[in-house]
Amino acid sequence: MNVFRAVKKAVSLLRQAPPAMNNDRVLECVEACLSYRELFMDTAREHGSPLYVVSEGRLRANARRFVEVFTRRFGMVRVFYAMKSNSMPEIIRILVAEGLGLEVSSGRELEQALAAGASRILFSGPGKTDQELEAAIANSDRVTVLIDSAGELHRLNRLTIKHMCPIRAGVRITTDSGGLWRKFGVPLNMLAVFLETARQTPFIKLEGLQFHTSWNLSPVAHTDFIRRLGGVLKDIPQELIANLAFLDIGGGFWPEDGEWLRCPGTAHGRLKNILDPSGPDTRSRFCLESSRIEMFADEISRAVHAHLSMFLKGTVYIEPGRWLCHDAMHILLNVLDVKDRRLVITDAGTNAVGWERFEHDYFPVINLSSPGVEEHSCLVLGSLCTPHDLWGYSFHGRAIESGDILLIPNQGAYTYSLRQEFIKPLPKAVVVRSDLNL
């Protein structure tokens, strides 16, 4: 890219700031959290801190709503919780008890799913080892393998012949043929060849098609790919798709409160911080709006009926993860050290969430010990030996002192699974039965 084009693009980015966060929404979230203050405080007094606090009631309510919404549109639906979004054993057991299947992407996750008593398991993901495929074959009464490539089909065929054991399978289809996402699945233009090859295997029962799009604030990515898939299937010989019993539309549904971001979490903000010599913007907050799950279900069902109903007559599979667990887990911290009124150190580091999340994503830090909705500038930092150990640039409350209990709400998705043993111990997990509707 030449200098002129680069400057033109930079100017365009600077002019296209994402939507600013409505502060009323932040205050509503803080007030909702404070309505459960006594429950959180009692939990911290009983179990200490730091803590992962799981709301069993919220998790069950999310699961029931999701299943009901998609069942109403499609009739025949099977929902599989994507374990990678939060692999906490307690969360998995609750969702299995709600009747959900589990979607796994490794042998370790498969072991966990089997131990949780899941009766329906999808084994997805690229690069499955022979050992992982053999574990799936050994549990073929419960496992459906979503085959990721022609090479994986060949290896699964060899192993099923070796063990003389049939197994149910589907094929993952690539949704983006460019960039890093092309690591997943079989390209659309190779689907017919794949289906013809699979038909010749003696023990692989290829029963469905799967695709996945991610980070979806709206149904557009789903509906666009469904339209593309329908265009390809009309040119595939009928005998290759006649026995397909399921369509797996993946997951990637963003939670309904939208994506809350700090300045570095947006392209506009990153460029602004680079160009501004006065220092990084730590105050600006943005919100990318997300569709309600009913809109996802409406638009996706319309697309399936318009483009795929003539090819696929079976069950729709869905693999939500983030949407189910995002608001079902929260983190409690204890203030260890008040260095001054604008800098405090807590007893948990961001190894509890696995990455420097709060430099990019925004969530309010709420002082439960000194409750209030007013916001005060203050660096709320963890106790790891790194300057990137940040929880927030402010807190909500009247004041902040050593021993205060702080709440970081809505930390259920892609935190527990990414946590890491680094310097400090990890939080304990506590399940409360209440529906903490934050």
Q: What is the CATH number of domain 22-53+328-432?
A: 2.40.37.10
The per-residue pLDDT for 280 is 84
The per-residue pLDDT for 276 is 77
Q: Which residues of the chain, if any, have pLDDT below 70?
A: 1, 3-4, 6-8, 10-15
The per-residue pLDDT for 7 is 63
What span, in angstroms and rounded, lies between the C-alpha atoms of 301 and 279?
48
pTM for the full predicted model:
0.95
The per-residue pLDDT for 159 is 98
CB crowding 367-394: b at 16 or more within 10 Å, else e: bbbebebebbebbbbbbbeeeebbbbbe
> Dihedral (C-alpha) 400, 402, 407, 413: value to the nearest 10 degrees?
130
The per-residue pLDDT for 281 is 87
**What are the start and end residues of each CATH 3.20.20.10 domain in the chain?**
56-325
Phi, psi of 217 (to 5 degrees): -85, -15
**What are the start and end residues of each CATH 2.40.37.10 domain in the chain?**
22-53+328-432
Q: Which two tokens stand for residue 219?
A: 């149904």
The per-residue pLDDT for 17 is 77
Q: How far is CA 119 from the centre of its chain?
A: 22
363 to 27, 30, 189, 224, 331: CA distances (angstroms) = 11, 10, 43, 32, 11
Q: Tell me which residue of 128, 100, 131 sits closest to 113, measured CA to CA.
A: 100
What span, in angstroms and rounded, lies between the C-alpha atoms of 261 and 403?
29
The per-residue pLDDT for 155 is 98
Q: Do the bridges between strand 259-262 and strand 285-288 make them parallel or antiparallel, or are there none, so unpaired?
A: antiparallel
The per-residue pLDDT for 18 is 86
Query: Could you read off the pLDDT of 61-71 as tens digits, one per residue?
Result: 999 999 999 99
The per-residue pLDDT for 308 is 95
The per-residue pLDDT for 270 is 80
Q: What is the mean pLDDT of the chain?
A: 95
Residues in the chain: 438
Q: Tell me which residue of 303, 246, 242 sits closest to 101, measured CA to CA.
A: 246
Whether the CB-CB separation of 71 and 84 falls below 8 Å is answered with no
The per-residue pLDDT for 278 is 78
Domain 56-325 in CATH 2.40.50.140: no
What span, in angstroms and rounded, lies between the C-alpha atoms of 142 and 120?
5
The per-residue pLDDT for 11 is 63
